Amino acid sequence: MTARPPRRALLAQIGAATLAGCAPARKDGVVLKFWAMGREGEVVQTLMPAFERANPGIRVDVQQLPWSAAHAKLLTGFAGGSLPDVCEVGNTWLPEFAALRALEPLDALVAGSRVVRAADDFPGIWRTNIVDGVLCGAPWYVDTRLLFYRRDLLAKAGFPVAPTTWAQWMAAMQAVKGLAGSSGYPALLPLNEFEPLLTLALQQDDPLLRDGGGRGNFRSAGFRRALAFYGEVFRRGLAPLESSTQIGNLYDEFDRGSFAFYVTGPWNLGEFRRRLPAARQDIWMTAPMPGPAGPGAGIAGGSSLAVFRGSRDKAAAWRLVEYLSQSQVQSRFSALTGDLSPRRDAWSAPPLAGDVKAAAFRDQLERVKPTPQVPEWERIATEMQLVAEQMVHGRLSVDQAAAEIDRRADRLLEKRRWMLARRAGATP
Amino acid sequence: MKRWPATLLVNGLLVVAAGFALLPLLWMLSVSFMRPGEADSFPPPLIPSAPTLAAYRTLFTQHGMGRYFVNSLLLASAATGLSLIFNVAAGYAFAKLRFAGRDRAFQLLLVVLVIPGQVAMIPLFLMLKTMGLVNNFGGVLAPAAAGVFGIFLVRQYALSIPDELLEAARVDGAGEFRIFRSIVLPILLPIMVTLATFTFLGTWNDFMWPLIVLNDERLYTLPVALASLSREHVQDSELMMAGAVVTVFPVLLLFVVLQRYYVQGLLAGSVKG
Amino acid sequence: MKGGQAGWAFVAPALAVIGLFFLVPTMAALALSLTDFDIYALADLRNLRFVGFRNYAELLANPLFWQALGNTLYFVVVGVPISIAVSLAAALLLESRLARFRSFFRTALFAPVVTTLVAVAVIWRYLLHTHYGLLNYALGALGVSPVDWLGDPHWAMPAIILFAVWKNFGYNMLIFVAGLQTIPEDLYEAARMDGASALRRFWHVTLPALAPVLLLVSLLTVAGYLQLFAEPYVMTQGGPQQSTVSVLYFMFEQGFKWWNLGTASAVAFLLFVMILAVTLIQLAVARRRGAL
């Protein structure tokens, strides 16, 4: 362990030397392949001319992947040896590509960089990029789930400010339910989304997996507390037993007061602005997720930029990552996409700086936590939600549900345990 | 004269059925000439108010449709050529040449016909990967070069070649390859057109395999490009319809021209499915 | 023996291609389905384990697999009869002595078959649009309130069936036309002499004569419909609420999205067994009728 820092410093020097020495000398030009998903893939093309002007000899070929096909495309690309140089990777996918050893470790490059630095970013987001002690990606934009709420209804129910603790939140929901003429439910926690429950679970001290990610830790006191709170909201009739697809037009329903709290993500800032009438814009607001005692943690989501190991020109690839991480470029990108920046300094400039409704995100981002960094995590989270759905339908108790999630997680992690055991056996 | 109502009924129903079959295609054509956003209004417009090529222009200048078109054309043509070379020779030999193990080999092929192609897909992908054929046209073409259906089609047709014709040539001292080239091929010409039409349409329309094998956007075929485009540009109806026109029109045209041959193959193929 | 050498020389290239690119991978698929090939094994083959029939056992315990199977059977059980009925009706119309412009109508009705599935699935997605789609507009004129065809789990599969019928009915129609042409005209004349109505003639002359074709067509269609994939891939992406995940779609997701190649191969084999069962029935029945 102690041998580590010097080696890293040495690598940093090599990295820096590579950057300083080779890249500008190139004459014939490099073509960097860059894959980005969805709206980001479309928008990022407009940022490329400036990069190409600043880096003569490097041309960027952006390929836009649809989100729904991206994961398949990346794995096929890995299997077929046709991955690009730089790619947007959802940060929950990083452990998977790290396990494939497809990602170039960035520690040395970051150590020599003046642009991409751990200290500039929100710590929780930065940590999602470190898998097994190795930095695999540079944060590009962030995502976390928090409360969108009806300010007017809350005020009417006697809550002029948003709740910050679970107890206050529960009381606020009860009060909204008790309002005269209220017909719907105070909160919307769509049953097909695992993020609300996952957020509550991350607010606990107990980790979600134990034994080095070899087993589920869902029977821990902390997770059961989160599960119990989640179940209680439904048991008291404070949230509908529905998935988001069963709700016709979510924005109309919110406007109509069918629910006053909605746990969702940053893309809805834009959607709420677009879809609610201009005159109704001051009825809604955002707030950080309430925690067991005071503002709680949130999910550290979002996307990172990764350099693939197979890239033939990693120095040029890293230049592109650095360029996209610059705070002015980040601000421009935020303005174009509505995405939130992982850099604190981008939040002190427009468009994010003056945005009151985005401020809650800024606040919560200081407290976000990564989800467990195992490739199986997404499937475990999906199973967790399926069991939780059975629980809120009254088919399982909290303890039974926790045990069932553990059972399913352990089954999904079987291969990983086998590999961990073998690795432990190989290096006694 | 009392036939009148029945005639009207039969032809009326045919018109309705033709409407059912053709309306989606005509609507596609019409929308592809609309102004961006025009189709998304209520009631849905049927005819463009001012026909424009805007969608096609965007498609070719911004979305590289020209490249996908060329890719599809190249792949379908190459697959057709390969399929003719491999299947015609084999089909003829199974029908007319006597050689040890012929019947056993043919029976094996019949068994293969039953296996759905998807079973082989995953290992095939891994195999092609080791052969360096993933993410290039070779990976699409290699498995398409020969097929049981094609061999079968040619064999059924070649069975009708009179043996005396071949024997006479052999007596004259012609080698098997010369006989094949100068006597057999001209006779097989109609079924070759059938096979070519089938292969071309099949390759042009194929989706799942190119989707898996071709990872690089620049290698996409029209269907793969269209599927990808449709996930990002759902709201641009006119653009998507223009893309559909570019994809569908060439095969429709080919079919209308070579209809006779295509139908022949279809019937031969399904009688012995 | 010269002919023997020539014979092998003619068939060898084609057999080599089929063997290498189809038979070998098929065998490999069987082997793969008995392993736990996943992304770990993709990274390093030493992470591959032989697991016997565990993939199959886990599939049979996986609710999503059963749902995919159920969805596929729904598509087959509802889609095949409708498809065949439409094909047969169209063929009868075309072969009616009263029909005019036959070749035009034949081409028109067959056109959807040759179109590119992905492209026409895209078209249908717009036709089925809740607000701007022609279908809901037409239904609206009849007083039916808009249906969220591709967004409602109850309607997504019917919408896909409607699309599949449109796309495929021309194929079987042509086979029926060929079958109808083989029915001797004097059978109809005799029936007419007996004063049988058109419906009775259809029931007692056409259908029995067409029975072998009908059987063949239905089994072929079942085998084809069991391989549902591109329609949900383009139109619904398996949704809403997984109501249009088919067996092949499930295999594609397992294999190429999650890279569980062991599981995906097991799915492919189960599908193969189903199709094989259908085909064996087809062969058995055909043999009994003396068609083979």
Tokens for B144? 């398409």
Give per-residue pLDDT as tens, B173-219: 989 999 999 999 999 999 999 999 999 999 999 988 998 899 888 89
CA distances for B214 relative to A80, B118, C245, angstroms? 9, 17, 24
Counting every residue written for chain A, the total comes to 428
Give per-residue pLDDT as tens, A20-76: 334 444 446 899 999 999 889 888 999 999 999 999 999 999 988 888 788 888 988
User: Domain holding B197: CATH number?
Assistant: 1.10.3720.10
Radius of gyration of chain A (CA): 23
CB contact residues (below 8 A), chain C span 21-60, against chain B: 21-26, 28-29, 32
In a domain? residue B7:
no
3-state helix, strand, coil in chain A (%, to 5): 50, 15, 35
State whether the Cα torsion A248-A249-A251-A252 is positive or negative: negative
Cα B88 from Cα B141, distance rounded (Å): 17
In a domain? residue B138:
yes
Tokens for C17? 């291609």
Instruction: Check A243 against C39: CB less than 8 A apart.
Output: no
In a domain? residue B193:
yes
Residue to test with chain A: of C45, C150, C249, C259, most A Cβ within 10 A: C259
Q: Does A67 touch chain C (CB under 8 A)?
A: no
Closest CA relative to residue B150, chosen from C283, C17, C178, C269: C17
CA distances for C179 relative to C84, C98, C217, C223, angstroms? 14, 19, 11, 21
Domain C63-288, CATH: 1.10.3720.10
Cα A138 from Cα B95, distance rounded (Å): 64
Q: Which of the four pLDDT bands, split at 50, 70 and 90, describes residue A428? A: low
- Secondary structure of residue A33 in the 3-state scheme: strand
Give per-residue pLDDT as tens, C228-253: 998 998 888 887 778 899 999 999 88
Instruction: Check C118 against B227: CB less than 8 A apart.
Output: yes
Counting every residue written for chain B, the total comes to 273
| Residues β-bridged to residue A303 | A90, A141
Where on the phi/psi map is residue B216: left (φ > 0), alpha (ψ -120 to 50), or beta? Answer: beta
For residue A60, give the H/E element and its range: strand A58-65
Q: Does B235 touch chain A (CB under 8 A)?
A: no
Cα A324 from Cα A316, distance rounded (Å): 13
Query: CB–CB of A266/A338 below 8 Å?
Result: yes
CB contact residues (below 8 A), chain B span 182-211, against chain C: 201, 204-205, 207-208
Three-state SS for chain B is CCCHHHHHHHHHHHHHHHHHHHHHHHHHHHHHCCCCCCCCCCCCCCCCCCCCCHHHHHHHHHCCHHHHHHHHHHHHHHHHHHHHHHHHHHHHHHHHCCCCCHHHHHHHHHHHHHCCCHHHHHHHHHHHHHCCCCCCHHHHHHHHCCCHHHHHHHHHHHCCCCHHHHHHHHHCCCCHHHHHHHHHHHHHHHHHHHHHHHHHHHHHHCCHHHHHHCCCHHHCCHHHHHHHHHHHCCCCHHHHHHHHHHHHHHHHHHHHHHHHHHHHHHHHHHHCC
CA distances for C149 relative to B225, C112, C156, C160, C235, angstroms? 25, 21, 5, 9, 11
Instruction: Check B232 against A64: CB less than 8 A apart.
Output: yes
Say what the pLDDT of residue A385 is.
92
- Domains in chain A (CATH in brackets) are 24-143+300-369 (3.40.190.10), 146-299+376-422 (3.40.190.10)
Instruction: Check C122 against B244: CB less than 8 A apart.
Output: yes
Residue range A218-226: mean pLDDT, rounded: 97
Instruction: Check B17 against C105: CB less than 8 A apart.
Output: yes
Q: Which residue has the tokens 């995953």?
A: B122
pTM to 2 decimal places:
0.83
Mean pLDDT of chain A: 88
Cα A188 from Cα A247, distance rounded (Å): 10
Subunit partners of chain A (3 or more CB pairs within 8 A): B, C
Give per-residue pLDDT as tens, B132-151: 888 889 999 999 999 898 99
Q: Which residue has the tokens 């290239």?
A: C13
As for the ipTM of the complex, it is 0.87
Q: Which residue has the tokens 């960027």?
A: A60
In a domain? residue B13:
no
Radius of gyration of chain C (CA): 24
Query: CB–CB of B80/B145 below 8 Å?
Result: no
- The domain ranges of chain C are 63-288
Instruction: Check A81 against B129: CB less than 8 A apart.
Output: yes
